[in-house]
Amino acid sequence: MTTNWHEDGSTILLPPKAAVTASAWRHHHILDLDDFTQDEIELILHITGSMKEVLARPIKKVPALRGKTIMTLFYENSTRTRLSFELAAKSLSADISNLTASTSSIVKGESLIDTLLTLESLGADVVIIRHPQSGAPNLAAQHIKGSVINAGDGWHAHPTQALLDMYTMRAHKGVIKDLKVTIIGDTKHSRVSRSNIWGLTTMGAVVTVCSPPTLLPIGFNQPVAYFPKVRIEPDIHKAIEGADVVMVLRLQLERMQSGLLPSMREYINLYQLNEERLKLAKPDALVMHPGPMNEGLEISTGVAHGSQSVINEQVTNGVAVRMALLYLLAGGKKA
């Protein structure tokens, strides 16, 4: 009776005697998933389920973070991440202010650290930062007392995206352990793929990476002690075969001028996820993409909007995941 708890609420049963307790939460920042244990990721996904329920209510607002101040500091453009953080904060009744580099004193030359100290002086309990430089959030975390959430830094990490991806996988597949996840595309420039690899391997999934040799980061194909083991398979057909999840990455066109790819046509021929190639995966395989998509390039329009695509669901789940993280960081007693 205490074990069959369904998140969709189809039956009224009691929650399981939690293997993970929120009291064990020890993180003050979310910088990447490399320092998260399986239990901690499980806890975040569990609380995300509760937040999904809040978002399904007629009044999608709870008072948990009343009086908390959350600020976003974005040095790069964003649609999904910034909006979903904003909606997440508002659903929890926190106050949120948004700062975009291009319309702030950053254009006058104010440094990252000075900007952060300004946000701290204005009372930020949580700062959500996106920056083109890898490691900027880690630097930020050393300078302010509040919590820092990494909303994407350079090629390094995008932990909240990886968490919403894992939540989406778990919602469809039940468990993440032993799932075969194939990541296709520009892994070199992809912070999404790095955070996913950390999270997925921690949860026990088997990750295959399929990239053109020029877009494969150094360290992926030769074992590096600190990075989790992934399978490298340059042939897209072999990489997709038998997969439970196919995750396609955006081809970062802004970086393609430098001769990393001979031509777009060749990339489409060799690496585009289309209907025919998707048939090699399991019949119920999920198609994911962190967005924004270049339809017709890394993914065909048919697949992007097909029956196996959960791309829009990923966006929806992003709000609930970010609510769970804000609750864990800013809810409850201050550390």
What is the contact surface with another protein in residues (CB under 8 A)? 1-2, 7, 9, 12, 14-15, 18, 20-23, 25, 43, 46-47, 49-51, 53-54, 57-59, 61-64, 92, 327-328, 331-334
CB of 318 to another protein, least distance (A): 18
- β-bridge pairing 206-210 and 231-232: parallel
- Name the minimum Å distance from CB 332 to another protein: 4
Q: Tokens for 86, please give them.
A: 């904003």
Contacts (Cβ under 8 Å, ≥6 apart) of 284: 244, 308
Report the run of H or E that residue 275 belongs to, with start and end: helix 275-278
Q: In whole angstroms, how close is the CB of 56 to another protein at the nearest point?
A: 10
Crossing angle of the two packed helices 191-202 and 159-173, in degrees rounded to 10: 50
> For residue 92, which amino acid is it?
L
Smallest gap, in angstroms, from Cβ of residue 323 to another protein?
A: 10
Q: How far is CA 89 from the centre of its chain?
A: 17
Closest contact distance (angstroms) between CB of 166 and another protein is: 18
Q: Which is nearer to another protein, 50 or 97 (CB)?
A: 50
* 195 closest CA partner among 320, 21, 27, 41: 41
Q: Which is nearer to another protein, 20 or 31 (CB)?
A: 20
Query: Nearer Cβ to another protein, position 22 or 113?
Result: 22
**Residue 6 or residue 265: which is nearer to another protein going by CB?**
6
Strands (E) located in 12-104 = 69-74, 95-100
Nearer to another protein, 17 or 108 (CB): 17
Give 50 or 308: the residue with its C-beta nearer to another protein: 50
Considering the complex, state which of residue 240 and residue 330 has its C-beta at the smaller distance from another protein: 330
CB 130, min distance to another protein, A? 26
Q: Determine if the peptide bond prior to 137 is cis (ω within 30°).
A: no
Task: Provide, rounded to whole angstroms, the least separation between the CB of residue 281 and another protein.
Answer: 32
Q: Where do the DSSP E strands lie in the chain?
A: 69-74, 95-100, 126-131, 147-153, 180-184, 206-210, 231-232, 245-248, 286-288
CA distance 54 to 286: 25
